[in-house]
Amino acid sequence: MTQAIRSMMMSEEMIHKGLEGVLVTKTSICKVNGEEGKLYYYGYPIDVLEKYSSFEETSYLLLYSHLPNKEELADFTTKMRLARQISNPILEMIKTFPRDSHPMELLQSSINFLSGYVDHKIEHSAYCNCRQTLHQIAQLPTIIAAFYRIKNGLEYVPPRDDLNHGANFLYMLRGVVPDKEEGDIMDKCLILHAEHGLNASTFTARVVASSLSTCYCSISAAIGSLYGSLHGGANEKVVNMLKEIDSVQDVRPFLEEAARTKRKIMGMGHRVYKAMDPRAVLMEGYLKTLSTKKGNSVNYNLLKEIQKVFREMMDEKDKAIYPNVDFFSGAVYELLGIPPTLFTPIFAMARAPGWLSHILEQRQDNRIFRPKALFDGPLDREYLPLEAR
């Protein structure tokens, strides 16, 4: 074996497709303990934040790395709520945006549009005025709700500043103020999606930030990554799957057929978790509450039967595959009156503070990302004149 071939083989062994298992940075933002099914934001367990915090307070935590005191929270909440209103140019862009387009495409365009209203001398510095404008957090829900209503021939509903983040989104979407329980559940759903470590969209945001591009460009790129079918949209696919199953009695035959045809069961399994996703545990609670409240337990019963039968099948194979956050979240959103086409945009509007947190952290000790690739193409090819090809 020649040295060149030996070197090639050794190099190929060092390739980690998708960078799986490769350490590229240090972070103090998020800890995902996949073995024990635990999730932390800046050291705070997700179930503690879900129980005691609000999305606005959680956003402060992610942007400033500590929980606010009473005065800091009041000031931040006021600033964030006053930033919800979109400008007339943005509203006009929404009205003229192609109605057959996906709302994720609108979100990318809107973020880039917003960047025209900031001082780019500040924005390109190590500072990041996203903490001051809060555009990316406060205005994404307004843009999503406005697009949905306008696309469906309904009047635009401006945001209110007396509702929490989740309740205000439901209000802008529905046109009526939700009751407190539904508003709080929506707010808690956003907390659960606010951050989740170095996933594809977050890594995308950090890569763009590493070139010292603006936080607007970084968020736009992250939204593009989330739009991909391998990242966002799983909860929509779970809801579609439920429509294929007529009753609880049909669950086992459905799963057995899926196993025979090697069909993936959406909402089951996670790249990191080897135990049940802690967000799924909380989402299940919201679904049970809403199902009882609305007298509609069809999807809840189906999902619980799928979970039970699937676990039995996995136990036989000794596989640690459990529900992830997407397994229950789509059914929760449906009971809140949210159409499936908005599920991924909701993911984006919830993840905005997490993305911004990583952008800020990247700028603290920055080095531009520049990985290597193993070249395996031909060299010194003969160039033939056009007439001879």
Q: Report the candidate in 162, 118, 172 with the shortest Cα–Cα distance to residue 140.
A: 172
Alpha-carbon distance of 336 to 333, in angstroms, equals 5
Alpha carbon 69 to its chain centroid, in Å, reads 28
If you count them, how many residues does the chain have?
389
Burial class (CB in 10 A: 0-12, 13-18, 19+), 64: middle
Q: Please tell me which residue in 326, 358, 376, 380 is annotated as part of the active site.
A: 326
Q: Report the candidate in 169, 147, 165 with the shortest Cα–Cα distance to residue 156.
A: 147
Q: Is 165 a catalytic residue?
A: no
Place of tokens 């469906």: 152
Alpha-carbon distance of 245 to 331, in angstroms, equals 14
Give Cα separations from 226 to 175, 229, 240, 297, 357 (angstroms).
28, 8, 19, 30, 17
Q: Report the candidate in 148, 180, 179, 173 with the shortest Cα–Cα distance to residue 159.
A: 173
> Which DSSP state fits 74?
H
Q: Tell me the torsion sign for CA atoms 67, 143, 182, 285.
A: negative
Antiparallel, parallel or unpaired: β 30-33 and 44-45: unpaired
> Which DSSP state fits 323?
B
Sheet of 30-33, strands arranged across: 30-33, 38-41, 44-45
Q: Report the candidate in 33, 47, 62, 40 with the shortest Cα–Cα distance to residue 358.
A: 62
Q: Is 270 a catalytic residue?
A: yes
Alpha-carbon distance of 353 to 63, in angstroms, equals 7
Listing DSSP states for 252-320 in one string gives HHHHHHHHHTT---TTB--SS-SS--HHHHHHHHHHHHHHHHHT--HHHHHHHHHHHHHHHHHHHTT--
Alpha-carbon distance of 253 to 333, in angstroms, equals 27
Q: Dmax of the chain from CA atoms?
A: 77
Q: Please tell me which residue in 187, 270, 277, 358 is annotated as part of the active site.
A: 270
> Which DSSP state fits 126?
S
Active-site residue set:
270, 326
